[in-house]
Amino acid sequence: MELYGLIGKTLTHSFSGDYFLRKFQEKRIDAVYRLWEWDTLPDLYDFVRQNTDLRGFNVTIPYKRAVIQYMDKLDKAAGLTGSVNVVKVKRKKDKIFLHGFNTDVIGFERSLKPLIQGRTGLHALILGSGGSAHSVAFVLRKLGIYFTFVTRKPNKLEAVGYSWITPEVMKKCKLIINTTPLGMYPNVDEKPDIPYDLLTPEHVLFDLIYNPAETLFLKKGREKGAVTKNGLEMLKIQADESWKIWHAKLILGL
């Protein structure tokens, strides 16, 4: 039986297990998908050795950047974003090779495009600065959308604090993307600290969170008439891309 799974710190919010279970059942695939919750990232080579049937796994918050130290090879998107959310496991005799991919960029781009069709000269705020934030930035660069990272602790030159979001900034930046875990189940009463009273029907709010279906961030936007979307479609797209990667005949060149 083939083994797949998801690694992260807190996975009570995740739909991935049920999603892949249904996929395995529909396609009559002899495989299981497990969730591994870790407070700290272990040695991934040891992890793979201990799970001899493991063929690949997904990576979520907060390890999308930390796992790179264990990757023997990165695809282009993972290398440019510094973020990995899919790992393909290859074994050759007693050696283990880990190939890191980023399918978040595919899922986000396909999910975002219908929301901004026909809009030009867009400026965006990316809330957060982790692995998912850099995947979002990768897509925005590709689409020619100007953006600014916003974090609670702006200790990097590329990021600003939430106090920087003035009425002028809100008027200019019509696309706001939440890549933080704020509002994720079970902490559904949390939300990023933006001036929600300045939202308008011209704004688009995208939340990478998909559980709950409507975060407080999205609810506040909807109440102001903004276009809103959660991360469920993005999850499904990147999950399907993960499956393709795990079953592709890839040459690692190692």
Task: Give the pLDDT means over successive 10-residue stretches in the chain (254 positions).
Answer: 94 84 87 95 97 96 95 97 96 94 97 96 95 95 96 80 96 98 94 98 97 97 98 94 82 42
Q: How far out from the chain centre does Cα 177 lie? A: 12
**104-234: CATH number:** 3.40.50.720
CATH 2.40.37.10 describes domain 2-103+235-247 = no
What pLDDT score does 50 carry?
Answer: 96
Q: Which regions of the chain does DSSP assign to beta strands (E)?
A: 2-8, 31-37, 54-59, 73-74, 86-92, 95-101, 123-127, 146-151, 159-161, 175-178, 204-207, 227-229
What pLDDT score does 122 carry?
Answer: 96
Report the catalytic residues: 64
What pLDDT score does 249 carry?
Answer: 61
What is the gyration radius of the CA atoms in the chain, in angstroms?
A: 19
What pLDDT score does 116 carry?
Answer: 97
Going from the C-alpha of 71 to that of each of 78, 87, 219, the distances in angstroms are 10, 8, 39
Residue extent(s) of CATH 3.40.50.720 domains in the chain: 104-234
Residue extent(s) of CATH 3.40.50.10860 domains in the chain: 2-103+235-247
What pLDDT score does 174 carry?
Answer: 98
- Report the 10 Å Cβ neighbour count for 102: 29
Question: Residue 170 and residue 174: Cα distance in Å, rounded?
Answer: 7
Give the DSSP letter of residue 130.
S
Check if the beta carbon of residue 180 is closer than 8 Å to that of residue 128: yes
Burial letters for 76-98: b for 16+ Cβ neighbours within 10 Å, e otherwise? Answer: ebbebbbbbbbbbbbeeeeebbb
What pLDDT score does 251 carry?
Answer: 42
Check if the beta carbon of residue 147 is closer than 8 Å to that of residue 172: no
What pLDDT score does 153 carry?
Answer: 82
Exposed, middle or buried: residue 65 (CB in 10 Å: 0-12, 13-18, 19+)?
A: middle
Q: Token pair 């993960």 is at which residue?
A: 242
